[in-house]
Amino acid sequence: MRFLFLLFIIMPVAEMWLLITVGTEIGALYTIGLVLLTAVIGLKMLRQQGFDTLWRGQRKLDEGQLPAQEIGEGIVLAVSGALLLTPGFMTDAIGFAGLVSPIRRLLVGQLLSKMVVSDLQGRRYGAYQETGKPADTGNVIEGESWDKQDSVAKPEPQKNDDLP
């Protein structure tokens, strides 16, 4: 709850303060130009990094691996892009940090090391490679199912012993 308070109340106030401070030092037009310039540069970087992540993920899928790292990086890139489009210098700094590949990979690697990602066959994946162990899903209940039609007894053909 405190994190949301910081995110939605404190951050915009700090952004406004910083924009006003920079605007008084270098002028309003230069400040607006600087904010637009960071957005344009950030979007160009986002596009390049996004395609790179997409191709790496596609390569992993072609090799039959789960692209967990690339999916995490894609989420970080989406958040970074949104931060870069938000006017302000602090959000731009956080957004640019998400676009730096080593920082992004470290962040996603740390998050994935605390998670278990498994595919439909129950193979578990960590941050970078498959562990090959079945996923521990807690209690396993085995059973079978059938259609209602299957439960209705079908009459067996009668044998007629009287026929030659």
Kindly list the domain boundaries of the chain, sorted by start residue. 39-134
More confident residue, 148 or 26: 26
User: Residue 130's beta-bridge partner residues?
Assistant: 125
**pTM: predicted TM-score of the whole model, two decimal places:** 0.67
Q: Which of these, 1, 6, 5, lies nearest to 94 by C-alpha position? A: 6
**Identity of the amino acid at 148:** K
Q: What's the pLDDT tens digit per position in 41-72?
A: 999 999 999 999 999 999 999 988 888 889 99
Provide the pLDDT confidence category of residue 145 given band limits of 50, 70 and 90.
low
Whether the predicted pLDDT of 77 surpasses 60: yes
- Tokens 């210098």, residue located: 89
Q: What's the pLDDT tens digit per position in 119-136?
A: 666 666 554 444 444 445
- State how far the Cα of 76 lies from the Cα of 107, in Å rounded to an integer: 9
Pairing label, strands 130-134, 117-118: unpaired
| pLDDT score of 121 | 67
